[in-house]
Amino acid sequence: MHPRLTTTPAAATVFTMVLTQGPVSRVEIARRSGLSSAAVTKAARPFIEAGYLEELAATERTAPGAGRPASPLTIRPDREFFCGVKITHEELIGVVTDLRAEPLVSAHRPLDTTSVEGVVSALAGLVSELLAADPAYGERCHALGLAVSGDVDKAHGVMRYSPFLHWRQVPLARLAAEATGLTVTIENDVKSLAVAEQWFGDGVGAASFALVTVGVGIGCGLVVNDRVMAGSHGVAGEIGHVPVGGDEPECHCGGRGCVEAIAGTAPLLAAVRAASGDGSLTVEAAIGAAHAGDAAVREVFARAAHAIGLAMAAMANLFGPERIIVTGDVPGLLSYGLFEEQLNRSFAAQAFGAAADCRLLLRPRSFEQWARGAAAVAIQQQFTLDGV
Amino acid sequence: MHPRLTTTPAAATVFTMVLTQGPVSRVEIARRSGLSSAAVTKAARPFIEAGYLEELAATERTAPGAGRPASPLTIRPDREFFCGVKITHEELIGVVTDLRAEPLVSAHRPLDTTSVEGVVSALAGLVSELLAADPAYGERCHALGLAVSGDVDKAHGVMRYSPFLHWRQVPLARLAAEATGLTVTIENDVKSLAVAEQWFGDGVGAASFALVTVGVGIGCGLVVNDRVMAGSHGVAGEIGHVPVGGDEPECHCGGRGCVEAIAGTAPLLAAVRAASGDGSLTVEAAIGAAHAGDAAVREVFARAAHAIGLAMAAMANLFGPERIIVTGDVPGLLSYGLFEEQLNRSFAAQAFGAAADCRLLLRPRSFEQWARGAAAVAIQQQFTLDGV
DNA sequence: ATTCAATTCTTGACGAAGTTAATTACTGCT
DNA sequence: AGCAGTAATTAACTTCGTCAAGAATTGAAT
């Protein structure tokens, strides 16, 4: 139906470079990749013929002076579409994206059950709803990515363990493929988001970076040498259980002093309520109060930011990433500068030597971004040779 | 003089497999590497002709039943020798090893200066002393590895920064090459030790593992996907500054609660002296006292082991190594079970989920092992294609 | 003893993927 | 118009590995 285009390393290199680094001339690709320009010409041709890439008319001279102007290669984003769905224990969030993982439509679907059959059939419904939004999607969308929190065996398409769904050893990729008729990739949700940043977000151009997600839990996706780190026992990036609090709070994991037990949504809310004396305060209201100048509440946020900053410093000391992207799904938490200042200060204080040179990027990300991450994994799967 | 034998990926794969996995038959190499057996035959030939590998007589049948018996390939360890030197601020420790990085001779040389010229000339003296030990060394030793603590630019052979020697931007590889006439590789000391474990020690067979060194500082070398992690700003593996102590002790790095400020040699000694009331106690004497049953001193050691265990758990949660090798240069500290029990307990308590499945290996390593690590880096450099 | 099956190793033809070097294509400047 | 300069293409060649066939070497069956 659609024969694989990326069969050789050169093909994968050329295509991903055009996809992720915007319009680039062939010589420039050759320079950046170390390939000969002849190889680039050959590798690019099948993609152009299949409609994935095209030559941009040379409008502006790149280099000043004489010479034949370059005709940069660029992606044709609407050549193929990808479906991405983030699965939580209470709802499905889905998007259809173009080749650049840019969301075109999105939809939700609440889950009234966490049974495998129930989730898969809700998924099938959501996907067909999404693909019905435009006839082009139905024609040119063949891949579906799923992002789930927990222990995912991507290579075999098996959900090894999901604490929230109470699933163990579920062959989710196969079930979803049967229910939707699409090629399905599954991946851990934080890793999926890391892939989206790696190819289409703030990780572009960095061989190594870390993505820290602040929310109910504190998660972390690590990209080292252009590859998302897997962890030999299925565990990696569990920054939430770095013990920065001394003996202080006990954590649900059995440990003590975990960041997550200080700065996760639940303990944060409890601390905010205790500080304000208002037992029914919401996080949003607390953010408002802090922004208005409530010192006690500000202090609570600062303590949480301090814990996260220390854990990030511990991580940076161990790995030395080029950048750290901090995301949070609570609107306003990152943006109002509530966290930012303390986060930077605590990170800088604990980062060792040159590790402090690592750039911190605070980037609020909406719920849709998680679904986008799932689509990004499907895209990467299709155009990479890694696990093939 | 000695033309490079490892020109192709297949050659590197075959040779390193024989070198690190002991005698192996060609078919077995093919099976493990994914190469065709024809490719193995072709790749192995130059190494056999040059005297680096040889066929072992098939003494024992490997597989039961019929068939032509395998003639396994094995390394000829004395085909070439390697020199490795660990440089500290007060002495040089050097070894000559065979191809398996097995030390054959060793020698020390105290340093009365930390000036670049002084160290390089002492190095030249030590190397010529070592190579004089056997005429074969002089004939068949062409490479020297140097291990130094601090920020090393291995690719360019430049010592970027050494806190103990007070060096900045020293082109050490070039200087040492001029002084000794050998091909010189330089690398960070902890990474060097990690390389030795990766190829010739307890890391063999693991695609990812961590090496934790307990001593004056607490260091860590990380191997991910068969590669030693570098860190984008030159920093990686700084486990010593993971803040597990809460606000407690202030560290020389400017942070608070660092493991190193609790379990490094200096703070450990201070704590032991305070606990015993004996202001002139040595670490060795303290170990003896603890072993004899002194509760206060035991408590101090347990607190240090706890801190290290927590930091190791933080590291394992972040990166999910297959194994963790813990080494220490204080004799008896690891071996008497003083640390071991508490280390295991604290690690297990704080390791998240499957990260606790990671095996902990306590391996006392003598000072010579550090010099061996330097030689191992030189060996790896010669038979790998990575940075070439 | 001879044949046969099983396994290891070797050999030479072939193929895929990239390189080098020459050629063509297109521009601005004189 | 001619020329210098850069971009892209083309064709011949190199390299590295696979494939398929056969040689080598053993144990077991006839």
pLDDT over 70 at A388, yes or no:
no
HEC string for chain B: CCCCCCCCHHHHHHHHHHHHCCCECHHHHHHHHCCCHHHHHHHHHHHHHCCCEEECCCCCCCCCCCCCCCCCEEECHHHCEEEEEEECCCEEEEEEECCCCCEEEEEEEECCCCCHHHHHHHHHHHHHHHHCCCHHHHHHEEEEEEEECCEEECCCCEEEEECCCCEEEECHHHHHHHHHCCEEEEEEHHHHHHHHHHHHCCCCCCCCEEEEEECCCEEEEEEECCEECCCCCCCCCCHHHCECCCCCCECCCCCECECHHHHCHHHHHHHHHHHHCCCCCCHHHHHHHHHHCCHHHHHHHHHHHHHHHHHHHHHHHHHCCCEEEEEECCCCCCCCCCCHHHHHHHHHHHCCHHHHHCEEEECCCCHHHHHHHHHHHHHHHHHCCCCC
**pLDDT tier for residue A169 given thresholds of 50, 70 and 90:** very high
Residue with more model confidence, B69 or B203: B203
What would the pLDDT profile of A270-327 be if each residue is shown by its tens digit? 998 988 888 888 888 888 888 888 888 888 999 999 999 999 999 999 999 999 999 9
Which positions on strand C lie below 7 Å from a protein C-beta? Answer: 5-12, 16-21, 25-29
Can you tell me the distance from the alpha carbon of B283 to that of B268, in angstroms, rounded to the nearest whole number?
A: 8
Q: Which residue in chain A has the smallest CA separation from B350?
A: A255
Nearest nucleotide by C1' from B12 CA?
D16
Chain A residues 103-162 with CB within 8 Å of chain B: 151
Q: Which residue in chain B has the smallest CA separation from A258?
A: B350
Question: A–B: how many Cβ contacts below 8 A?
Answer: 166
Chain A residues 301-320 with CB within 8 Å of chain B: 310, 313-320
pLDDT in the model for residue B31: 96
The reply to whether A65 has its C-beta less than 7 Å from any atom of strand D is yes
The whole-number Å distance from A63's CA to C27's C1' is 11
pLDDT over 90 at B226, yes or no:
yes
Crossing angle of helices B9-20 and B189-200, rounded to 10° = 80
pTM of structure: 0.93
pLDDT in the model for residue A65: 67
Count CA within 13 A, CB hemisphere, residue A225: 11
pLDDT in the model for residue A58: 62
> Chain A interface, mutation test: which of B319, B324, B345, most A Cβ atoms within 10 Å?
B319
| Candidates B224, B233, B241; nearest CB to A358 | B233
**What's the gap in Å between the CA of A23 and the closest CA on chain B?**
27
Q: Which residue in chain B has the smallest CA separation from A235?
A: B320
pLDDT in the model for residue A62: 58
What would the pLDDT profile of A213-259 be if each residue is shown by its tens digit? 998 889 999 999 999 998 888 778 899 999 998 777 788 888 889 99
Can you tell me the distance from the alpha carbon of B282 to that of B265, in angstroms, rounded to the nearest whole number?
A: 10
**pLDDT tier for residue A177 given thresholds of 50, 70 and 90:** very high
Whether residue B235 lies within 8 A of chain A, CB to CB, comes out as yes
Chain A residues 215-234 with CB within 8 Å of chain B: 220, 222, 224-225, 227, 229-234
pLDDT in the model for residue A79: 97
